[in-house]
Amino acid sequence: MPHIFHPSILREYDIRGIVGETLFDADARAIGRAFGTRVRRNGGRVVCLGWDGRLSSPDMAQALTEGLMQVGCLVRRIGRGPTPMLYYAAKVREADGGIMVTGSHNPPNHNGFKMVLAGKPFFGPDIHDLGKIARSGDYARGEGEAVNDAIFDEYVTRLAQDYDGERGLKVVWDCGNGATGEVLTALVKRLPGTHKVLFGEIDGRFPNHHPDPTEPHNLVALQDHVLAEGAHLGIAFDGDGDRIGVVDGEGRILWGDQILVILAEDLLKARPGATIIADVKASKVFFDEVARMGGKPVMGRTGHSLIKTQMAEIGAPLAGEMSGHIFFADRYYGFDDALYAAVRLLGIVARWDKETLGHRRDRLPHMVNTPEIRFDCPEERKFAVVAEVRGRLEAQGAAFNAIDGVRVDTEDGWWLLRASNTQAVLVARCEATTAEGLKRLRMTLTEHLAASGVKAPG
Among candidate residues 94, 4, 20, 30, the one with its CA nearest the CA of residue 54: 20
183 and 325 housed in the same domain: yes
| Identity of the amino acid at 440 | R
CATH number at residue 159: 3.40.120.10
- Residue 326 to residue 30: CA distance in whole angstroms: 32
| 300 is a domain residue | yes
Q: Which residues are catalytic?
A: 104
H helical segments located in 326-434:
338-349, 357-363, 379-396
348 and 212 housed in the same domain: yes
Final residue in a domain of this structure, among 342, 363, 384: 363
Buried b / exposed e across 19-47, counting CB within 10 Å, b at 16+? beeebbbebbbbbbbbbbbbbbeeebbbb
Helix (H, G, I), strand (E, B) or coil at 230: coil
- Residue 122 to residue 90: CA distance in whole angstroms: 13
194 and 305 housed in the same domain: yes
- Residue 406 to residue 412: CA distance in whole angstroms: 16
| 435 is a domain residue | yes
| 307 is a domain residue | yes
Which domain, by its residues, includes 303?
154-363
Q: How far apart, in Å, are the Cα atoms of 386 and each of 246, 302, 423, 451?
A: 32, 15, 15, 11
pTM of the model: 0.95
**Who's near 225: CB < 8 A, 6+ residues apart?**
172, 174, 196, 198, 231, 234
25 and 136 housed in the same domain: yes
412 and 309 housed in the same domain: no
68 and 166 housed in the same domain: no
Q: pLDDT tens for the chain, 458 residues: list them.
A: 799 999 999 988 889 999 999 999 999 999 999 999 999 999 999 999 999 999 999 999 999 999 999 999 999 999 999 999 999 999 999 999 999 999 998 899 999 999 999 999 999 999 999 999 999 999 999 999 999 999 999 999 999 999 999 999 999 999 999 999 999 999 999 999 999 999 999 999 999 999 999 999 999 999 999 999 999 999 999 999 999 999 999 999 999 999 999 999 999 999 999 999 999 999 999 999 999 999 999 999 998 999 999 999 999 999 999 999 999 999 999 999 999 999 999 999 999 988 999 999 999 999 999 988 888 999 889 999 999 999 999 999 999 999 999 999 999 999 999 998 877 899 999 999 999 999 999 999 999 999 999 988 77
86 and 192 housed in the same domain: no
* Domain count along the chain: 3
126 and 230 housed in the same domain: no
